[in-house]
Amino acid sequence: MRPIVLNPLFLKLYGRVCAVTASSAPVLEHLSWVYDGCRLQRSAPAAVRLGLFGDENHGYKVTVDGIPAAEEPTLLAALLHLDLEILRRPLFLNPPLLGFHASWIARGSRAVLLVGEGGCGKSSLCHQMLSLGFAYGSEEVAAFSADGRLLPLPRRIMFKPDNPLIPQLGIRQDARNLLAGFDGRFYVLPPGVSLASSGFYDCTFVFLHYQDDGPELEARPLETLDALQRLCGAAFRLQAMSSSLFAALVGSLSPERAVAVNYSSPGAALAFLLELADG
Amino acid sequence: MLKTYQLKDDLLMAEKDEMLYVLDLESGRIHSFNQTGKVIVQLCLEPRSLEEISGEYRQYFDLEADPAREDVTAMLEKLASSHLFKEGCAPSS
């Protein structure tokens, strides 16, 4: 029996159209909501087609242009894999874009890129800065065109269920969030958030490290080699490293533009970022 | 048979401010080289012997033979210990 395939969801990511199909209505409803800032209201010629098919008995497949890219035993694992493909596949289309795992927000011509491992506070700080009037670039991917324009990706910000901002801000779970039933994560955006436009920004790279028993806040400029090593790690997380990305990172980094921030106080980190963003 | 040195294929390179940065895609590690190191690294893009590399290096920086060979030997050892050569390449002891 042929699997039922629902009408695709059309997303515009970094200016490229991506069609997402699935054999499960809740999957599409979830993605449609998480990516509502990128959703196209009508069908459009897709540059890449992604899919998620399967069931609990036979497992799940994630496809890219009809070719299986991964097999996963659970819907949660398959959906997370599909989400990663949605974020990264459009980067590889011609002409390729340069992308790495980072959050970014902007004010005027300045952009702050937050880089760090999971749990370093990127999402919380990004959300708080948006609430303070910064324009939203992306929570997951900093993508650059070949000529150096930073391209926004207005996907909802993901909070893990133990994020202290959830009770503080009175955030409630949304019925369209399929993943709430699996691992309790939240997807949020502050009300009335403004979106950053694609363009040339004066970028500062902030490498975050949260340490519960560490100093309240310790910030220091990073040497190019150290910053480069960390940014390459962020590119590897998206499996997006290329010779052009490496050359662009080398060209754009300098100790004036790269700061390592170790902190235990989220309030102090936010104050530091605000000062940094305002020059 | 003359031993030659050649960098492995899965390396990405980029230059800035007279420095050369080399990303080893296998290990994920990045190595940086100053101007003298950069010349030796670039000479190892093609298979070359110690004598050939030393000769080119000596000519490039207008050095005497012995210090040129010492510089090159030390750099080749560094590259080998960083696993940047193709399989089978190693500095002579």
Q: Where are the domains of chain B?
A: 11-81
Q: Nearest C-alpha of chain B: how many angstroms from A61?
A: 28
A76 with A109, same domain: the answer is no
* Interface test mutation site (partner A, options B9, B10, B12, max chain A beta carbons within 10 A): B12
Pair A217, A151 in one domain: yes
Interchain contact, A246 vs B15, CB within 8 Å: no
pLDDT at B93: 44
Give A251's contacts in chain B (Cβ within 8 Å).
Answer: 14, 16
CATH assignment of the domain containing A208: 3.40.50
Distance of alpha carbon A246 from the chain centroid: 20
Alpha helices in A101-223 (DSSP H): 122-131, 165-169, 180-183
To test the contact with chain B by mutation, choose from A246, A252, A256 the residue with the greatest count of B C-beta atoms within 10 A, namely A246
CA dihedral B76, B77, B83, B84 (to 10 degrees): -10
Nearest partner of B75 among B25, B29, B38, B21, judged by Cα: B38
Verify that A227 and A150 share a domain, yes or no: yes
A73 within domain boundaries: yes
Q: Are residues A102 and A72 in the same domain?
A: no
Tell me the per-residue pLDDT of A120-146, one tens digit each, with 9 for 90 and over: 999 999 999 999 999 999 999 999 999
Are the Cβ atoms of B21 and A232 closer than 8 angstroms? no
Looking at A92, A118, A134, which one is the last position of a domain?
A92
Residue A2 lies in a domain: no
Distance from CA of A90 to the nearest CA of B (A): 22
The SS3 call for residue A149 is coil
Distance between CA A107 and CA A188 in Å, rounded? Answer: 21
Asked if B23 and A232 count as a contact pair (C-beta separation under 8 A), the reply is: yes
Q: What are the backbone angles phi and psi of residue A113, rounded to the nearest 5°?
A: -105, 125
Side-chain-side CA neighbours of residue A105 (13 Å): 28
- Cα–Cα distance, A191 to A164 (Å, whole number): 18
Cβ <8 Å between B28 and A233? yes
User: Is B87's pLDDT higher than 90?
Assistant: no
CATH of domain B11-81: 1.10.10
Residues A72 and A166 in one domain: no
Q: Please state whether the peptide bond connecting residue A191 to the residue before it is cis, i.e. omega within 30 degrees of 0.
A: no
Terminal alpha carbon distance of chain A: 61
Yes or no, beta carbons of B14 and A236 under 8 Å apart: no
Number of domains in chain A: 2
Compute the Cα dihedral for B78, B81, B82, B85 and give only its sign: positive
Q: A169 Cβ partners below 8 Å, 6+ apart?
A: none
Is the CB of A246 less than 8 angstroms away from the CB of B32? no
The parent domain of residue A75 ranges over 9-92
Which residues in B lie closer than 8 A to residue A232 (C-beta atoms)? 23, 28, 30
A75 and A111 together in one domain: no
What pLDDT is attached to residue A198?
96
Answer whether B30 sits within 8 Å of A236, measured CB to CB: no
Tell me which residues of chain B, numbers 25 to 64, contact chain A at a CB-CB cutoff of 8 Å.
Answer: 25, 28-30, 32
Q: Is the pLDDT of residue B58 over 50?
A: yes
Q: Is B15 in Cβ contact with A241 (below 8 Å)?
A: no
Residue A4 lies in a domain: no
What lies within 8 Å, CB to CB, of B81 at 6+ separation is none
User: Which residue, A232, A63, A276, A70, is CA-closest to B30?
Assistant: A232
Residues A27 and A102 in one domain: no
Specify the 3-state DSSP secondary structure of A177.
Answer: coil
Distance from C-alpha of A85 to C-alpha of A78, rounded to nearest angstrom? 10
**Average pLDDT per run of 10 along chain A, which is 279 residues long?**
74 97 94 96 95 95 97 96 97 94 96 94 95 96 94 96 93 94 93 94 96 94 93 92 92 90 96 91
Residue A221: other Cβ atoms inside 10 A: 13
Q: Which residues of A touch B82 (CB under 8 A)?
A: none
Smallest Cα distance from A237 to chain B, Å: 11
| Claim to verify: residue A225 and residue A139 sit in the same structural domain | yes
Determine, for residues A247 and B30 on separate chains, whether the beta-carbon distance falls below 8 Å. Answer: no
Domain-ending residue, one of A67, A92, A117: A92
**pLDDT at residue A4 in the model:** 62
Residue A145: CB partners within 8 Å, gap ≥ 6? A95, A97, A98, A151, A198
Task: Write out pLDDT tens, residues B9-24.
Answer: 999 999 998 999 999 9
Angle at A70 between CA A66 and CA A72, to 5 degrees: 125
A29's enclosing H/E stretch is: helix A25-34
Same domain, A49 and A103: no
Same domain, A175 and A189: yes
Same domain flag for A60 and A190: no
Q: Are A24 and A36 in contact (CB under 8 A)?
A: no
Which chain A residues are closer than 8 Å to B13 by Cβ?
A: 246
Tell me, yes or no, whether A3 lies in a domain.
Answer: no
